[in-house]
């Protein structure tokens, strides 16, 4: 663990680990050039040690079962050839220790607890942290000089993000892309005098970089690192033939399942290409989230770009449906991974649809000068937004019901944040007990998915905390009754005049776009930067036209103006679904306090570094289900400083109970 002495570290791993030189198939090109002091330091951190035979087998099998299908950086057949000749290489190429340590890290979330404990780790969370640190130290001390190996390891190390370093994924992706470029992997289609094997390896590496770039950008709202002007993704795209050499050579998948998984990865490469235009439009380089949109003369050009984005996504969807229609595979260890990774693509696709729809609706809300073509795009987006959310609901309902959500990669945590927030809003807006129970059943699907992630990834708890903070902001902002009046210029978001209170999240952006997009901005900013936005980071439109507080009872017009009072009798049944005797004790009695609300405090890293308690039984199924328990605790108050505690060891269910004060039924 971090901060352990050399003797403590050595004691923890001495029984079930060996020095990497024990295996002939492992190498480290830069080791001879390291200073003796650096070697001793790396040794004290366990960087040169790997699990012994049987335990290493467990790690490698879990790696190729869970990680390789969505990030095939290695030729699986060639790896097993080298791995099978541990004592006598017979001319086979060696595997870099840096790459192997990164593989151990990536696989550790799925390795049986008995194996992890035999290797000196308390649980998968500790294993991920320590193994990530070992691989990162090997990189930082320049122990490996092969550019391709550094790029491969960095891609795997990008599968980590935490409250301490939310940019870890982007940082290691940057390293991977830089090293891949230096290795000229992006020129795989034009470099002369390159063997077919070398060309295939470079192509595989570069497309893994591109796919990872799109997944991170869409999930945590960041610009692309590989832009269209840097690489023509339509010239010699990735194809099934590029992975055909692995069929029949896998130790974890039969040939039929392997072919199906290859189809899925190729389809994911096509999705990465289709996502490019959408991400470039929504999260352009050198820009800020939800900045004021283009002036009216530019709307025509923007409308054309949006049409192209929508067409790219629709074309991919049609092609993917045809390609994967008859895809099938056998269960492995009780899990159908073909279904799992096909559903993962649908999560990415529907999330992109929602992001594009939000961009269109947001732009329309801030620009009143629209032509007929733009109005048509807006009308389409209203329906597409609900359709995409329903698509996500269907996917997660299948995954949760079959206990597969816990096998999704770490990126799924960020992709669950928005639907979790929207489902929570639906519960808050329930106007009857029947409606509340129905919305709670929907919410329980997202909560259960997040809980399954938390078993493997601490980042999932951090994402849950972000959603909790955004919802807490809704509660606080609502109780302040500081109005957001509709504004008829580009600096404010126009709102329709409602004749009833909003009944679900999809009605909020029509009746109060200021509130709706402030919530979205807070969520996006938190996922991207790891903290809630401060007053200086809020977009211009969110600060415009704030009127003095007015005392008046809540009605439909009051909602449109933002005059929400959670303590009023009209709202007790909506924003405070009460099974507890006390309501949320928020009180905002002055404009000065309203300024404090807008200055949302920083999310301090929660105590994730504390070792979590292992489950009673080591082989607990990832998707086992429990009821939501009501939690009787006071919500944290907001302060002017940026040191608000980001959370405690509450589970996702405890957090939602704390927020919604409602007991959720078990998922059937």
Contacts of residue 630, defined as CB under 8 A and 6 or more positions apart, other chains included, come to 579, 580, 657, 661, 662, 663
Burial of residue 8, with CB atoms counted within 10 A of its CB: 0-12 exposed, 13-18 middle, 19 or more buried: exposed
Rounded to 5 degrees, what angle do the CA atoms 661, 667, 668 make? 150
Q: Rounded CA gap, 336 and 5, in Å?
A: 43
Q: Which ranges constitute the DSSP H helices of 325-454?
A: 337-366, 372-401, 411-428, 433-454
Q: Report which of 229, 228, 305 is spatially closest to residue 273, judged by C-alpha positions.
A: 228
Strand pairing class (49-51; 17-19): antiparallel
Residues near 52 by Cβ (< 8 Å), separated by ≥ 6?
A: 16, 17, 18
**Gap between the terminal Cα atoms of the chain:** 39
Q: How far apart are CA 97 and CA 48, in angstroms?
A: 8
In a 3-state reduction of DSSP, which class is residue 609? coil
Q: For residue 509, how many other CB atoms are within 10 A of its CB?
A: 25
Can you name the residues that pair with 335 across neighbouring β-strands?
A: 332
Question: Could you tell me which of 276, 280, 198, 210 has the C-alpha nearest to residue 238?
Answer: 210
Strand partners, 27: 96
Q: Whole-prediction pTM value?
A: 0.79
Task: Find the length of the chain.
Answer: 668
Distance CA 196, CA 216 (A): 30
Instruction: With CA atoms as reference, report the closest residue to 144 among 132, 159, 154, 155.
Output: 154
Residue 78 CA to residue 490 CA, distance in Å, equals 59
3 state DSSP class of 27: strand
**How high is the pLDDT of residue 626?**
32
CA–CA dist 399, 406 (Å, integer): 9
Whether the CB-CB separation of 666 and 451 falls below 8 Å is answered with no
Helical (H) or strand (E) element with 214 = helix 196-220
Handedness of CA 140, 142, 147, 152 (dihedral sign): negative
Per-residue tokens: 664? 């959720």
32 CB-side CA count, 13 A: 2
* Separation CA 631–CA 662 (nearest Å): 9
- The single residue listed with the structure tokens 């990680």 is 67
* 70 DSSP 8-state letter: T
Which residue's entry shows tokens 């449109």?
A: 560
**26-27 and 17-19: which strand pairing?**
unpaired
Rounded to whole angstroms, how far apart are CA atoms 534 and 462? 19
Count of CB atoms within 10 A of residue 513's CB? 24
State CA 497 to chain mean position distance. 36
Q: What are the pLDDT digits (tens) for 429-443?
A: 888 888 889 999 999
CA pair distance 190, 198, nearest whole angstrom: 13
SS3 per residue for 287-333: CCCCCCCCCHHHHHHHHHHHHHHHHHHHHHHHHHHHHHCCCCCCCEC
Residue 204's closest CA among 73, 323, 28, 395? 73
CB 51 within 8 A of CB 17: yes
The whole-angstrom separation of Cα 57 and Cα 68 is 15
Q: Splitting the chain (668 residues) into consecutive groups of 10 residues, what average pLDDT does each group show?
A: 48 69 93 96 96 94 97 96 72 88 98 94 94 98 97 98 92 98 94 90 98 98 94 91 95 94 97 97 83 58 86 96 81 87 97 94 70 74 91 95 94 96 90 88 93 94 92 63 36 51 81 85 93 79 44 32 33 27 27 29 31 38 32 30 36 42 32
**Predicted pLDDT of residue 657:** 45
Distances (CA, A) of 315 to 5, 312, 355, 386, 418: 56, 5, 17, 20, 25
Q: What's the token pair of residue 188? A: 């795989």
Other beta carbons within 10 Å of 633: 11
* DSSP bridge partners of 51: 17
CB-CB contact of 525 with 289 (8 Å):
yes
Give the separation between CA 613 and CA 606, rounded to whole angstroms.
Answer: 16
* Paired residues of 19 in beta bridges: 49
- Residue 637 Ramachandran class (φ > 0 left, ψ -120 to 50 alpha, else beta): beta
Tokens for 206?
A: 């570069």
C-alpha 237/C-alpha 207 separation (Å) is: 9
| DSSP code string of 437-482 | HHHHHHHHHHHHHHHHHHTT-HHHHHHHHHHHHHHHHHHHHHHTT-
User: What's the confidence (pLDDT) of residue 331?
Assistant: 80
Question: Do residues 575 and 582 make contact, with C-beta atoms less than 8 angstroms apart?
Answer: no
């Amino acid at each position: 663990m971090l901060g352990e002495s050399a003797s403590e570290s050595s004691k923890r791993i001495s029984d079930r680990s060996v020095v990497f030189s024990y295996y002939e198939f492992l190498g480290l090109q830069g080791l001879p050039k390291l200073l003796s002091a650096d070697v001793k330091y790396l040794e004290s951190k366990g960087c040169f040690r790997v699990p012994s035979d049987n335990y290493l087998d467990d790690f490698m099998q879990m790696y190729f079962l869970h990680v390789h299908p969505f990030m095939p950086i290695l030729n699986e057949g060639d790896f097993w050839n080298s791995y099978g000749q541990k004592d006598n290489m017979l001319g086979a190429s060696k595997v870099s220790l840096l790459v192997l340590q990164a593989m151990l890290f990536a696989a550790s979330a799925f390795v049986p607890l008995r194996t992890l404990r035999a290797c000196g780790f308390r649980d998968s969370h500790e294993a991920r942290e320590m193994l990530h640190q070992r691989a990162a130290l090997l990189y930082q001390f320049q122990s490996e000089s092969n550019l391709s190996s550094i790029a491969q390891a960095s891609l795997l190390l990008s599968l980590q993000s935490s409250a301490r370093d939310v940019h870890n994924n982007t940082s290691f992706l940057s390293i991977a892309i830089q090293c891949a470029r230096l290795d000229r992997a992006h020129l795989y289609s034009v470099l002369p005098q390159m063997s077919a094997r070398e060309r295939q390896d470079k192509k595989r590496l570069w497309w893994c970089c591109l796919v990872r770039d799109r997944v991170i950008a869409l999930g945590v709202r960041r610009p692309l690192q590989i832009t269209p002007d840097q690489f023509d993704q339509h010239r010699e795209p990735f194809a099934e033939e590029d992975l055909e050499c692995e069929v029949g050579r896998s130790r974890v998948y039969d040939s039929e399942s392997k072919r199906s998984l290859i189809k899925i990865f190729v389809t994911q490469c096509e999705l990465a290409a289709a996502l490019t235009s959408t991400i470039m439009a929504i999260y352009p380089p050198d820009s800020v989230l939800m900045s004021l949109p283009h002036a009216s003369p530019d709307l025509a050009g923007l409308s054309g770009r949006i049409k192209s984005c929508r067409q790219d996504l629709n074309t991919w969807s049609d092609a993917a449906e045809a390609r994967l229609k008859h895809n099938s595979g056998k269960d492995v260890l009780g899990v159908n991974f073909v279904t799992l990774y096909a559903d993962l693509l649908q999560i990415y696709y529907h999330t992109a649809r929602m992001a594009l729809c939000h961009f269109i609706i947001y732009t329309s809300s801030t620009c009143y000068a629209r032509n007929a073509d733009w109005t048509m795009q807006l009308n389409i987006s209203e329906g597409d937004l609900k359709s995409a959310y329903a698509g996500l609901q269907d996917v997660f309902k299948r995954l949760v019901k079959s206990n597969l959500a816990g096998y999704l990669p770490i990126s799924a945590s960020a992709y669950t944040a928005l639907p979790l927030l929207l489902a929570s809003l639906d519960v808050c807006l329930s106007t009857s007990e029947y409606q509340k129970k129905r919305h709670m059943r929907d919410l329980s699907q997202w909560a259960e998915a997040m809980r399954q992630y938390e078993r493997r990834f601490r980042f999932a708890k951090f994402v849950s905390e972000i959603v909790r903070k955004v919802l807490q902001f809704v509660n606080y902002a609502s109780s302040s009754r500081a109005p957001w009046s509709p504004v008829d210029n580009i600096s404010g978001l126009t709102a329709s005049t409602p004749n009833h209170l909003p009944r679900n999240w999809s009605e909020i952006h029509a009746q109060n776009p200021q509130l709706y997009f402030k919530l979205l901005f807070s969520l996006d900013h938190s996922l991207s930067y790891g903290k809630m936005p401060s007053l200086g980071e809020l977009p211009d439109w969110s600060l415009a036209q704030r009127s003095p507080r007015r005392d008046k009872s809540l009605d439909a017009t009051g909602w449109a103006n933002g005059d929400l009072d959670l303590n009023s009798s009209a709202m007790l049944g909506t924003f405070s679904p009460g099974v507890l005797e006390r309501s949320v004790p928020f009180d905002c009695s002055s404009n000065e306090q309203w300024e404090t609300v807008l200055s949302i405090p920083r999310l301090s890293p929660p105590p994730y570094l504390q070792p979590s308690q292992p489950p009673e039984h080591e082989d607990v199924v990832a998707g086992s289900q429990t009821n939501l328990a009501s939690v009787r605790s006071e919500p944290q108050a907001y302060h002017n400083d940026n040191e608000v505690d980001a959370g405690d060891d509450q589970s996702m269910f405890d957090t939602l109970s704390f927020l919604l004060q409602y007991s959720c039924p078990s998922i059937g």
